[in-house]
Amino acid sequence: MAGSLLTGRASSLFGDTQPAQEQSDMVGMVPRLLASLVVLFASASSAHAEDGIALEVYTGQRSADAPRLVAPVLDELAKSKIDSGDTVGRRIANLSTPSQTVAGIPPNFAQEADAGLRLYAQGNFNAAIQKLNPLVEAAQHNSAAFAKVTTLAPPLQKAMIALALAYSRNGDQAAMRSMFFEMIRSFPEAQVARTVYGPEAAQAFEESRKTLAAMGTGKLIVHVTKGAVFVDETYRSSGDLTLEVPPGEYRVLVIDNQPSRTHNVTITANSEKTLTIDAAYDQAINTGNGWTGFLFANDAAREAHEAEYAAKLAHEIKANSVALVGLDQPKSGAVVVGSLISLERATEIRRANVALNPDPSRERLKALAHYIVGEGDTGGIDVVDLSKQPVHVAEPTAALQPKMVAQSDTVDTRWGGWRWISLGATVGLAGTGATFYLLNGHCNGPPPPNGSPCTNVFDNHPYDRDTLLAALPFAALTVYLFATQTKTVDAHTAALVPVSHGAVATYAFTW
């Protein structure tokens, strides 16, 4: 739209002979088009609120009463297009999954692998596939169990070999190669013994190894805060890792006292993929069992990290805003707590509680949701004065590196883009008005022959005046926005976190 407007204006300046009424109509469109652009910018910014998330947060464990108490809050937030629960959990699953399932692995895993191999040896290929395929899948979904119990690796290799051979005997050569590829990626030194599985099986495995090697390699880079790195359930390093690997899908986890989540990554030839894994952060994340959020071991860990972790998770799944809803036990008694987190600074923007004694009504819980998104009154809820609350600054992580200020620092008070939008509108309107004014009285078209008067001159009244006047409120707004963009805060309450895409999302709920 802007491009066509400029093109049309250039034509007028270089000899377009449009009728005066048509020129006047186009001139009158200028302020309307600029105003429309400002409205479009505002609409685009407000649309970011539609991609917000709400995470549950608890200390110790999630109580049996939690679903009843937090559901009204989450349901009301959903009306503002703020996702929670399994919807958010599925987005997180694109990055990482729990490294152990609730069911875990069969306690008789080795015996089941032997049973599957016997079925294959007896020629019962379909039965062998039905027996072994769930075993291999259970192993892949329980990376932590296999990483911690090294004696499970040999029976897993046996199960994978027998499953690949059963696929082959059933005529599915692609499935056989896929299983052998997975085995080679997981256990680079693995072999298929001729004396156990026969020469044809050994040859098929070696051909699969050559085929995979011919595909080239990619680079897997893993950065960790601390802990041991496992790739496809195999120990690779203590600390940071750089690994040349064949193309394919890999499962990466870190064990630091407890296992992290499993990070699923696809490596392609002649490329590299970098993962940054903070085991403590991963260990706090819960997905599944009907809820998604954070579970902290104690109050100290929760106070220190809940805002940081919420902002980090929102950035990872590209959410534009994040709220926390859960149960807490302050000195005043048990409460349902809700807060809105700044993605820019990883601190709370607002926080409120609903006391559990007496049992809160559904309307009071819905009011908490309205407060989180900046709507409605605060009747029946206790708004927390954050200026009187101590700020807990977490230890730096690879994704969020807080910079503590020595005595005071300057921070933004709003999204910085508004001042530039306002400045652009001011310059556009003022420039258009000035152009109209300067063109008044000048010939509209080619210069007339010498001595002949110009009969078609520009007459932009009153558009020149109106456009210049329209620029005045934007000029005033621009001065105000630039003057109030930043403020100085005390060092004891300041933590600046350089993260991407934070500004718009931080204020998405507040307007």
Domain ranges of the chain: 2-46+413-506, 52-98+283-398, 109-214, 218-277
User: Which CATH number does 109-214 carry?
Assistant: 1.25.40
Average pLDDT over residues 116-121: 96
CB 231 within 8 A of CB 252: yes
pLDDT at 294 over 50: yes
Q: Work out the percent of the chain whose per-residue pLDDT is above 70.
A: 78
Question: Residues 475-501: pLDDT tens digits?
Answer: 898 888 777 867 654 433 333 333 333
Question: What is the residue whose two structure tokens read 């819980």?
Answer: 365
Spatial distance between the Cα atoms of 230 and 251, rounded to a whole number of angstroms: 8
CATH superfamily of the domain spanning 218-277: Carboxypeptidase-like, regulatory domain (2.60.40.1120)
**Amino acid at position 234, single letter:** T
Instruction: Tell me how far apart the alpha carbons of residues 282 and 198 are, in angstroms, rounded to a whole number.
Output: 44
Residue 269 has pLDDT above 90, yes or no: yes
Whether pLDDT at 470 is above 60? yes
Q: 375 pLDDT band (50/70/90 cuts)? A: confident
Tell me which residue has tokens 């694109």: 94
For residue 328, the tally of other CB atoms under 10 A from its CB is: 17
- In degrees and rounded to multiples of 5, residue 167 shows phi and psi of -60, -45
DSSP conformational letter for 347: S
| Cα–Cα distance, 52 to 83 (Å, whole number) | 6
Can you give the pLDDT at residue 391? 54
pLDDT digits (tens, 9 = 90+) for 33-79: 444 444 444 444 333 445 899 999 999 999 999 999 999 999 999 99
- pLDDT score recorded for residue 388: 67
Q: Which residue has the tokens 């005066």?
A: 20
Q: What is the pTM for the complete model shown? A: 0.65
Q: How far is CA 268 from the centre of its chain?
A: 23
The pLDDT of residue 29: 46
Write out pLDDT tens, residues 390-431. 655 444 444 434 333 333 444 456 666 778 888 888 888 888
Q: Look up the CATH number of domain 52-98+283-398.
A: 3.40.50
Per DSSP (E only), the strands in 94-247 are: 96-97, 218-224, 228-231, 234-238, 241-245
Peptide bond into 358 cis (omega under 30): yes
Q: Is the pLDDT of residue 299 over 60?
A: yes
pLDDT digits (tens, 9 = 90+) for 127-157: 999 999 999 999 999 999 888 888 899 999 9
Buried b / exposed e across 170-192, counting CB within 10 Å, b at 16+? eebeebbbebbbbbbbbbeebeb
Cα separation, 315 vs 92, in Å, equals 11
- Greater confidence (17 vs 320) lies with 320
The secondary structure element, H or E, covering residue 204 is helix 199-214
The rounded Cα 200 to chain-centroid distance in angstroms is 48
Q: What is the pLDDT of residues 207-216, one digit of tens each?
A: 999 999 999 9
Q: Tokens at residue 369, please?
A: 């949701």
